């Protein structure tokens, strides 16, 4: 960004300055839709909000590998197995981009993982739902990735440069996953009666949790106003949720599947679909840790980390022994 003062050199802490030169430069940059970069001065609260949001996003990619990895060993064709493996691999990659983006804000991946493992930082509530059938893999692709994209495409214009750039790369891959999920469901929907029923059941179970991915209603969203003012967020939760519903309705029709909402109908006046009430009690319960898989997801992540400790320690010890430019490659 061009106009903000380089705060790293000035040693400014980013404290609650009231109309300081730094703060004015920051505000002006945000107002002009310029990107804030790691060395620029930024308010402490802006930095903290971004760390929280990016870390949570990274954690969601990592925990989100589990419900899908659950089906890698049971995928019903080699083509589907390859697609699913590639997808889970992409998710690990997204986690890496996002941890890197968070690290530009002065935190470290180890610290963030600690916070995830100890429950001090969250991940998306959607990954606390179980994948019970193969069709769930398709429903996650179509609905969960679809909701994620609706949320994330505006983040490509987020005021913080490293996050925005990570989102550009991630959104490209996510939209690919979303199409694959749709195509998986389409194959099931047009398949045998059992396959069709499997697809419908998965959509029935994932529809409402997907709508919850946009977060609480606007009047209950504690971070929204400030995030919008800082141009981290560009649209409200309810706005994005509505956009998602409007996108999904015709897609469900072409899939030959129904959405489990008796109140869902086109509203000519609003130019949008009306939809039924979301069960916010369930949403809060899952967030609090009482969802179907909260315990299992976190335990598995912690176990992988703990059981891998000796591997990381050995790699570090090896690196410390061989610091003199040896590549480690075995000569041909």
Partner 1 sequence: MTTTSAQETVPTAAALALGDDALVLSHRLGEWAGHAPVLEEELALANIALDLLGQARVLLSLAGDEDELAFLREERAFRNLQLVEQPNGDFAHTIARQLYFSAYQYLLYTELAAGDGPLAPLAGKAVKEVAYHRDHAEQWTLRLGDGTATGHTRMQRAVDALWRYTGEMFQPVEGIDVDRPALEAAWLERITRTLHRATLTVPDGPRTGAWTAGAGRQGLHTEPFGRMLAEMQHLHRSHPGATW
Binding stretches for partner 1 (CB under 8 A)? 62, 65-66, 69, 72-82, 85-86, 88-89, 92-93, 95-96, 99, 109, 134, 184, 187-188, 191-192, 194-195, 300-301, 303-305, 307-319, 321-322, 328-330
- Looking at the Cβ atoms of 10 and 319, the one nearer to partner 1 is 319
Q: CA torsion 59→296→315→97, rounded to 10°?
A: -20
- Looking at the Cβ atoms of 271 and 325, the one nearer to partner 1 is 325
Tokens for 199, please give them.
Answer: 């697809």
User: Distance (Å, rounded) from C-alpha 177 to C-alpha 163?
Assistant: 21
Residue count of the chain: 332
- Looking at the Cβ atoms of 4 and 293, the one nearer to partner 1 is 293
C-beta of 110: minimal distance to partner 1 in Å? 11
C-beta of 315: minimal distance to partner 1 in Å? 4
C-beta of 99: minimal distance to partner 1 in Å? 8
C-beta of 167: minimal distance to partner 1 in Å? 19
User: Distance (Å, rounded) from C-alpha 233 to C-alpha 245?
Assistant: 19
- Residue 127 · residue 138 · CB < 8 Å: no
- Looking at the Cβ atoms of 18 and 194, the one nearer to partner 1 is 194
C-beta of 188: minimal distance to partner 1 in Å? 8
- Looking at the Cβ atoms of 205 and 301, the one nearer to partner 1 is 301
- The residues pairing with 267 across neighbouring beta strands, listed in sequence order, are 272
161-200 burial, b for 16+ CB within 10 Å, e for fewer?
A: bbbbebbeebbebbbbbbebbbebbbebbeeeeebbebbb
70: three-class secondary structure by DSSP = coil
C-beta of 65: minimal distance to partner 1 in Å? 5
Q: Which helix (H) or strand (E) holds 136?
A: helix 135-139
CA triple 167-246-86, angle to 5 deg: 40
CA triple 246-139-203, angle to 5 deg: 70
- Looking at the Cβ atoms of 56 and 237, the one nearer to partner 1 is 56
Tokens for 314, please give them.
Answer: 């050995």
- Looking at the Cβ atoms of 112 and 158, the one nearer to partner 1 is 112
C-beta of 289: minimal distance to partner 1 in Å? 20
- Residue 179 · residue 251 · CB < 8 Å: no
C-beta of 125: minimal distance to partner 1 in Å? 18
- Looking at the Cβ atoms of 281 and 329, the one nearer to partner 1 is 329
CA triple 151-53-228, angle to 5 deg: 65
Q: Which helix (H) or strand (E) holds 267?
A: strand 265-267
- The residues pairing with 6 across neighbouring beta strands, listed in sequence order, are 40
């Amino acid at each position: 960004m061009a106009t903000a003062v380089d705060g790293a050199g000035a040693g400014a802490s980013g404290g609650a300055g009231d109309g300081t030169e730094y703060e004015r430069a920051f505000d002006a940059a945000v107002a002009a839709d310029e990107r804030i970069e790691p060395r620029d001065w930024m308010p402490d609260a802006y930095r903290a909000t971004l760390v929280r949001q990016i870390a949570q996003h990274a954690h969601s990619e990592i925990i989100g590998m589990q419900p899908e990895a659950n089906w890698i060993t049971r995928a019903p064709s080699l083509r589907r197995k390859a697609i699913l493996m590639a997808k889970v691999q992409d998710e690990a990659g997204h986690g890496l981009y996002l941890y890197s983006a968070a690290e530009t804000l002065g935190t470290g991946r180890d610290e963030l993982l600690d916070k995830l493992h100890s429950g001090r930082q969250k991940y998306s509530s959607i990954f606390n739902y179980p994948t019970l059938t193969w069709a769930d893999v398709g429903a996650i692709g179509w609905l969960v990735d679809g909701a994620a994209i609706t949320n994330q495409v505006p983040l490509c214009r987020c005021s913080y440069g490293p996050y925005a750039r990570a989102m550009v790369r991630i959104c490209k891959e996510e939209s690919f996953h979303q199409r694959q999920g749709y195509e998986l469901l389409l194959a099931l929907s047009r398949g045998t009666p059992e396959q069709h029923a499997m697809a419908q059941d998965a959509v029935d179970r994932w529809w409402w949790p997907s709508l919850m991915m946009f977060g609480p209603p606007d009047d209950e969203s504690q971070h929204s106003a400030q995030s919008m003012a800082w141009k981290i967020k560009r649209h409200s939760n309810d706005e994005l949720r509505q956009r998602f519903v409007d996108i999904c309705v015709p897609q469900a029709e072409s899939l030959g599947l129904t959405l489990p909402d008796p109140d869902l109908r086109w509203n000519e006046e609003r130019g949008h679909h009306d939809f039924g009430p979301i069960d916010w009690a369930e949403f809060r319960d899952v967030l609090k840790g009482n969802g179907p898989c909260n315990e299992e997801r976190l335990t598995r992540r912690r176990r992988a980390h703990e059981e891998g400790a000796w591997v990381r320690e050995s790699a570090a010890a090896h690196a410390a022994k061989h610091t003199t430019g040896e590549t480690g490659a075995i000569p041909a």
